[in-house]
Structure 1
Amino acid sequence: MRNIYLVLRREYLVRVKKKSFLVMTLLGPLLFVGFYAAVIWVAVGSVDTKTVQVLDESGLFKKEFKDSEALKFEFTDSSLDSAKAAFQKGDANALVYIPANVIKAPKSVRIYAAKNVSMDLKSEIEKVIEKEIEDIKLAEAGITHKILEDSRVNVNSETISLSDGGEKTSSSGAATVIGGICAFLIYMSVFIYGTQVMRGITEEKTSRIVEVIISSVKPFQLMLGKIIGVALVGLTQFVLWILLTTALTSATSAILSNNMSKQSAQVAKEMEKAQVANQAMQGNAADNPVGEILGAVSSLNIPLILGCFLFYYLGGYLLYSALFGAVGAAVDNDADTQQFMLPITLPIIFSFVFAQFVLRDPDGTLAFWTSIIPFTSPIIMMVRIPFGVPAWELVLSMVLLILGFMGTTWIAARIYRVGILMYGKKVSYKELVKWIFYK
């Protein structure tokens, strides 16, 4: 046990003290927050006002096109040829031509531009014209647009879980998002840290350092120490990423809020008025989108999700890293690892693909079996847990994952003890099977 601790401690400290670890630990949250800030800035703070000239021969739309922060409309009464000539000499972004017979021929509308127009601009113009034509046709039929709007109903159902403990509000959307994020994190960590174990063993074997280490440490102890040491490195990086990302996101949100307060003051007032009016009519604070999000997250069993994430993260990593370690011991260089990588990576890739279908039916047959099999359960079970999993299925999955880790560790150890000192020989699958049963 002491030897395993010494190897574990060495693997952990060597990797944590590397500049690459420190850079990625700091750079990861910065990149995330930078992306987050850029998206907000582009969406709110960088609105370019576009000028649109309108030639309306029908005379029906002069009051319908209204200026906004993004669009400014200018009307002209000249002929189409004159309007096109003036547009080419001017600075307008687009010229909209609405013919006199637009009611009977709505497809005759034309939008002219120097190069092309964006889908948003095209959609905005078409929406205004469509709405006015609809109002005119409805009025001719004796139906006002208000009657039509009042007849439309938006059904927003509430999902409630029934159990022996009573009723509890649930959220399918929050469960889908949380399950998907957890599955993706495990998927990435298995690849990143599993390959680190393999490359570390390959480097030591190539440099012949392992020959010195084996003289005082058993091969199994060396392999297990490496696996656990790299696992702790991954957990350390995850914890630091969470803490730094939370702190930077909070600071960035505060800064962006202050810088954009002038630009969004009017929008905020309108949203506040709409919210107050909505609450007055409905008498329910749950209509607030922020309240809905917080309520959706609080409806999930967060302690259970975090505990299971930690277990399946470690279980999945330990299971696959043992196999990655066996591959690293069996080959002499990184180029030779490719032939053995495919059987190991296929179950991980299939798990991530199956997760897309499990999200649609978290209690189906595919979801059950893939969440029980140890090679796919770390990813699939984390997708299912936010939706609610029977206790016996969760326990069975955990037990099988532990047995799977023990089995793969035993197989990896049998390969490791022979392959770690094997040089200059191209290894095949048949040779690996022989190594497993060597006495």
Structure 2
Amino acid sequence: MRNIFLVIRREYLVRVKKKSFLVMTVLGPLLFVAFYGTVFWAAASSVDTKTVQVLDESGLFRNKFKDSETLKFVFTDKSIDSAKAAFPSSEANALVYIPANVIKAPKSVRIYAAKNVSLDLKSDIEKVIEKEIEDIKLAEAGITHKILEDSRVNINSETISLSEEGEKTSSSGAATVIGGICAFLIYMSVFIYGTQVMRGITEEKTSRIVEVIISSVKPFHLMLGKIIGVALVGLTQFVLWILLTTALTSATSAIIGSQLSKESVQVAKEMNKAQVPGQGMPGGNVDNPVTEVLGAVASLNIPLIIGCFLFYYLGGYLLYSALFGAVGAAVDNDADTQQFMLPITLPIIFSFVFAQFVLRDPDGTLAFWTSIIPFTSPIIMMVRIPFGVPAWEIALSMVLLILGFMGTTWIAARIYRVGILMYGKKVSYKELVKWIFYK
């Protein structure tokens, strides 16, 4: 046990003290926040007010085009030929021609510009014209636009879980998002840190350092120490990423939020006031998006999700890293690892693919069996848990994952004890099976 602890301590300190670890631990959140800030900055700075000339021969759209923060409409009474001739010298970005027979021939509308107009600008202009033509045709049929709008109903149902504890509000959207994020994080961590174990063992083997280490440490203790040591490194980096990203994202959001214009805030308030009482939250209050998000997250069993995430994160890593370690001990260089990587990575990839179907039916047969099998349970079970999973299924999945880790570790140890000192031999699957049953 003491030797395992020494190996864990060495593996942890060697990797944590590396400049690459420190740089990536700090640089990862900074890059994420930089991307996050750049997107918002680009979205805010790319909004330019465009001027659009409108030549309306029908006279139906004089007051229908409304100015906004991005569009300014200017009407002209010139003929189409004169308007086109004067357009290049004007400051307008586009010229909209609406013929007199637009009701009978709506496709006769033309948009002229020095260059191609953007899809958004074209869409905005077309929507205004389409809406006015619809209103005119509905009025001719004796139906006002208001009657049509009143007939449209927006259903926003509330999901409630019925259990022995009674009724409890739930959120399918929040469960889907949280489950997907947890599954993706486990998927990435297994690949990143499992590969680190494999490469670390391969480097020590090729440099012959392992020959010195094996003289004082049993192969199984060495392999187990490496696996746990790298797991702690990954967990440390993971926790630091969460803390730094949360802090930086909060600071960036506060800075961006303080720069929002008062007009935008006022518009949001007016839109909230304009909503019909009783269509929001209970009691006639207006729906608040922030409140809805917080309520959706609060409806989930957060302590259970965090606890299960840590267990399946470590369990999935330990199971696969043992196999990665066996591959690293069996080969002499990184090029030879490719032939043995496919059987290990396929279950991980299949798990991520199956997760897309499990999100649609978290209680189906596929969801149950893939969340029980140790090779797929770390990802699939984390997709299911936010939706609610019976305690016995979680317990069975955890027990099988522990047994799976013990089994893969035993197999990896049998391969490791022979392969770690094997040089210059091309290893095959048949040879690996022989190593497992060597006495």
Bigger shift: residues 239-248 or 107-116:
107-116
Q: 1: CA distance between counterparts of 2:428 and 2:109?
A: 69
Give 3-state SS (helix, strand or coil) of 2:153's partner.
coil
User: Which AA in structure 1 matches 2:158?
Assistant: E
CA deviation profile, 1:226-270 (whole Å, cap 9, x unmatched):
000010011101110111111111111121122x23xx2112112
Query: What amino acid does structure 2 have at the position aligned with 1:204?
Result: E
Map 1:275-424 to 2 at 5 A.
Answer: 275-276=272-273, 278=275, 283-285=283-285, 287-424=287-424
Aligned-partner Cα distance in 2 for 1:364–1:230: 35
SS of residue in 1 equivalent to 2:68? coil
Which residue does 1:164 correspond to in 2?
A: 164
1:217 matched residue in structure 2: 217
Residue 253 (structure 1) aligned with residue 253 (structure 2): yes
Structure 1 stretches lacking a partner, 5+ long: none
Tell me the equivalent position of 1:269. 266
Matches within 5 A, 1:145-160: 145-160=145-160
Q: Is the 8 A contact 1:372 1:400 kept in 2?
A: yes
One-letter amino acid of the structure 2 residue matched with residue 74 of structure 1 = V
Equivalent residue, structure 2, for 1:118:
118
Name the TM-score, length of structure 2 as normaliser.
0.96
Secondary structure at the residue paired with 1:287?
A: coil
Does structure 1 retain, via aligned residues, the 8 Å contact 2:351–2:379? yes
Q: CA deviation at 1:278?
A: 4.1
What's 2:235 paired with?
235
8 Å CA contact 2:305–2:386 kept in 1: the answer is yes
Answer yes or no: is the 8 Å Cα contact 1:279–1:287 preserved in 2.
Answer: no
Q: Secondary structure at the match of 1:33?
A: helix
Identity in percent: 87
Once the two structures are overlaid, the 10-residue window that deviates more, 79-88 or 426-435, is 79-88
1:418 Cα deviation after fit: 0.5
Tell me how far apart the structure 2 counterparts of residues 348 and 115 of structure 1 sit (CA, whole Å).
49
Report what 1:192 is aligned to.
Answer: 192
Q: Give deviations 1:305-343, integer Å, cap 9, x for gaps.
A: 000000000000000000000000001011111111111
1:352 and 1:406 map into 2 onto residues whose CA distance is 23
Tell me by how many angstroms 1:34 deviates.
1.6
Deviates most, 41-50 or 143-152: 41-50
Q: Which amino acid aligns with 1:124?
A: D
Report the counterpart of residue 437 of structure 1 in structure 2: 437
Give the match for residue 107 of structure 2: 107
- The offset of 1:409, in angstroms, is 0.5
**Would you say how many aligned residue pairs link Structure 1 and Structure 2?**
436
What is the CA distance between 1:61 and its match in structure 2?
Answer: 1.0
Report the Cα offset of residue 276 of structure 1: 4.4
Superposition RMSD in Å: 1.4
For residues 101 and 398 of structure 1, the distance between their equivalents in structure 2, rounded to whole angstroms, comes to 72
Q: Does the CA contact (< 8 Å) of 1:56 and 1:97 recur in 2?
A: yes
8 A Cα contact 2:29 2:244, kept in partner = yes
Q: Report how far residue 45 of structure 1 moved.
A: 4.7
Give 1:293 deviation, angstroms: 0.4
Contact (CA 8 Å) 2:278, 2:285: kept in 1 or not? no
Are 2:99 and 2:108, in contact at CA under 8 Å, matched by a contact in 1?
yes
User: Which deviates the most, 45-54 or 184-193?
Assistant: 45-54
2:244 corresponds to: 244
- Equivalent in the alignment of 2:11: 11
Separation in 2 of the partners of 1:148 and 1:205? Answer: 76
**Aligned-partner SS, 1:59:** coil
Compute the displacement of 1:110 (Å).
Answer: 1.8
Aligned to 1:425: 425
